[in-house]
Amino acid sequence: MLRNAFVLLVVASSCGTRTEPTKPMTCEVPLSGRPVTQTGLSDAQCRPGCGCGAEAFTPTEFTPELLTRLSEWTLLDTPPDLSVDPYSMPAPPIVQGVCAVQVVDEAAKSYRLKTFATEAEAKGAGAKVTHSDGCGACSTLADLIVYGREIDLGRKVQDCGVKTAVAGLEANITCLAELGFTPACARTWAFNTRFTRMKCFATCFTLLDAPYHQADGGLNACLDCDERESGPVFKAVAGRTRRNTGIPSAICRPCSELGRIAHDW
């Protein structure tokens, strides 16, 4: 998740082959993502989809047309209060369940967000699941646009951190908002960036331009530090992550961590 957070220096699927004539074909559990040069993995090691056969999952393609449709919707909920740095307090628990969009007015394209205990409960209420886990600061459809549009979102967030290193937190928030993040989501990412810098600077400084992954598919030490130190609070406060939204990114993840969410708008 949070390579982004790093610093002011701000840090698939394949089917197995039949190994014996008497054994059925099985699906391996690969890494899911959309590799770029800095990912450090090949397409054979990391692909967007997961599984095969009845278990196959093909992530939503965020085409320009889909992004346009998403941009037409307006959230009626009040954004979360993030006037206090969530990293200054104990990590809140991640709310279990799913976050779903409840359409208020189809013609006006207005909606609210609500956390449901299960996907079945959300669908029973006529709501569309937008990610697993409870709703948070980044659960809006506007933030979904940014997550879906940017394959290497971490690099964009890192760039904001570097450009605003001297100017400070508020300047970083402004830069993140210019990417399209809502104010609450931009603030969440900025707090995360600052905390990761404090906890992981020594590790991340030498890995700023390193591949995101080791040869075996594991995260590099900087991303691993960010995941351990900043990840729990970010996940709880943001609500939406690329993983629980079912969006493969430049940082590849085990298929078991990828939410199987269809974004049909």
Using the predicted structure, report yes or no on whether residue 44 has a pLDDT greater than 60: yes
- Rounded distance, CA 37 to CA 223, Å? 16
pLDDT of residue 6: 38
Counting residues of the chain whose pLDDT is more than 70, the rounded percentage is 89
pLDDT of residue 11: 40
Residue 220 banded pLDDT, cuts 50, 70, 90? very high
On whether the CB atoms of residues 43 and 35 are closer than 8 A, the answer is yes
What does the pLDDT average to over 53-67? 92
Using the predicted structure, report yes or no on whether residue 35 has a pLDDT greater than 50: yes
Q: Quick one: which of 222, 198, 192 has its CA closest to 210? A: 222
On whether the CB atoms of residues 131 and 122 are closer than 8 A, the answer is no
Q: Which residues have a Cβ under 8 Å from the Cβ of 217 and sit 6 or more positions away?
A: 31, 41, 45, 46, 252
Q: Which residues of 187-200 are buried (b: 16+ CB within 10 A; e: fewer)?
A: bbbbbbbbbbbebb
pLDDT of residue 140: 98
Using the predicted structure, report yes or no on whether residue 199 has a pLDDT greater than 70: yes
pLDDT of residue 7: 40
Q: Report pLDDT digits (tens) over 83-102.
A: 999 999 988 999 999 999 99
Q: The pTM is what?
A: 0.87
Q: Domain residues of the chain, as ranges?
A: 31-257
